[in-house]
Amino acid sequence: MRKILKVVMPLAVIAAGVGSVMVLAQAKEAPEKTIEEPRPVSLHVDKVRSERITVSVGTQGEVRAKTNISLVPQVSGRIVKVSNSFAEGGRFSPGEILIQIEDADYLLAVTSSEARVAEAAVRVEQELADASIKAKQWKDWVVDGEPTPLALNKPQVAEAQAKLRAAEADLENAKLDLARTKIQVPFEGRVLERNIGVGQFVSVGTTLGRVFATNTVEVRLPLTDAQLGELALPIGFVAQPGQAPNVTFSANIGSEKRSWTGKIKRVNASVDSQTRLVYAIAEVEDPYGAAADRGMPLAVGLFVTAEIQGVTPHDTMVIPRTALRGDDRVYVISDDNKLQIRTVNVLSTSATQVMVISGLATGERVVTSPVRSAFDGMPALPIERTAGQSTSAPASR
């Protein structure tokens, strides 16, 4: 019994203690629960304003020379002179002799051809004289009948005249070959690359170098269907005189932003099968001269951003760029100071503004401050910015 009591008594004491605690817990009154209202978040806002605008279409492209050719000789020979202008980056004038091929053999060919022309001319005169004599003899000695062409020496005259024309053609060909020893181009331009030097022998078809004209450059600009619609440009468009749309090109060179003005001259008549885009061709006249920006030319090979002014007007809602969250969401504070998350239809964006065509109304307050853990119905305290206050706070993405 003593052993049983030693085991049972502690268990009884523990059970009694637990029962007492439970009785006291049930008898205690539950604490009164209080629900705290969430505190409103102070947020900077701007009011939506309406504006009728025409959207500028932005795109990019590489500057290319409209005329870009390889210099290839039409005669063979040793190069005896190369102009100082014929160096990579060098500038040359129309008709300037860039490369001189040795012309001694071609001068001799001209002299030989001149001799053959003189000989053929003498032969013609002889045959004409013989024809005149034979005609007179036929008239004086023969009473009846018509003379044959051979009797009047006509075939011999025709043959001599044909040989004279052939000799003259050979002379012109010799003179042409002589002129071709001087390599020149009919436009003002720059040298892209040079592949030869003085003393080198070149044959017909050898590439001597590459040059391009500087009177006009062009930029191939990719456009989507929507952008073509904004510009009212049909596929296959060719600009008539005075009707080419303006385009502004820009690029950062060093620490400065440079700009140039050109015109869209045509739109390709087909859609690119790889990108599904249509390419417009813009041209800039005199890019190394009058069209240069403070002396900086629109250089061939430069990658530029293009902005083309649209022609279709739109009624839009304008908001700060910092009010746009992601691609198509904005935060609006309602009249009862509740946050609303809206999905909008964005027409166009710039560095400072967003143009929206649906999802907002004039006068509504859009949030421009960063917002963490935003949700519909969140209490908010709108703070309107005063004149001159910055709106460049980073948007929450």
CA-to-CA distance for 261 and 287, rounded, in angstroms?
Answer: 9
Q: What does the pLDDT read at residue 74?
A: 94
Tens digit of each residue's pLDDT (9 = 90 or more) over 151-169:
778 888 899 999 999 999 9
Relative orientation angle of helices 154-179 and 104-141, to the nearest 10 degrees = 170
Selected residue with higher pLDDT from 389 and 328: 328
Q: From the options 3.40.50.1100, 1.10.10.60, 2.40.30.170, 4.10.320.10, give the CATH code of 58-65+215-313.
A: 2.40.30.170
Q: Enter the CATH code of domain 105-180.
A: 1.10.287
CB atoms within 10 A of CB 183: 24
Beta bridge partners, 320, equal 353
Q: Enter the CATH code of domain 67-102+189-214.
A: 2.40.50
Q: What is the mean pLDDT of residues 35-41?
A: 72
**Range list for CATH 2.40.30.170 in the chain:** 58-65+215-313
Residue where the block lists tokens 């795109």: 59
Specify the DSSP element, H or E, that contains 4: helix 2-27
Q: Enter the CATH code of domain 43-53+314-384.
A: 2.40.420.20
Q: What does the pLDDT read at residue 396?
A: 34
User: Is this structure's pTM higher than 0.85?
Assistant: no
Q: What does the pLDDT read at residue 150?
A: 80
Q: Which of 244, 242, 310, 243 is nearest to 283 (CA)?
A: 244
CA-to-CA distance for 24 and 268, rounded, in angstroms?
Answer: 91
Q: What is the percent of the chain with per-residue pLDDT over 90, rounded to a whole number?
A: 61
Tens digit of each residue's pLDDT (9 = 90 or more) over 177-202:
999 999 999 999 999 999 999 999 99
**Range list for CATH 2.40.50 in the chain:** 67-102+189-214
Model confidence at 35, pLDDT cuts 50, 70, 90, reads: low
CA-to-CA distance for 248 and 256, rounded, in angstroms?
Answer: 16
**Range list for CATH 2.40.420.20 in the chain:** 43-53+314-384
**Range list for CATH 1.10.287 in the chain:** 105-180
Mean pLDDT of the chain: 87
CA angle 384, 385, 388 (to 5 degrees): 160
Residue where the block lists tokens 């073509």: 228
Residue where the block lists tokens 């960063």: 370
Q: Give, in order, the Cα–Cα distances in Å from 262 to each of 26, 216, 244.
A: 88, 10, 9
Tens digit of each residue's pLDDT (9 = 90 or more) over 350-376:
788 898 999 999 999 999 999 888 888
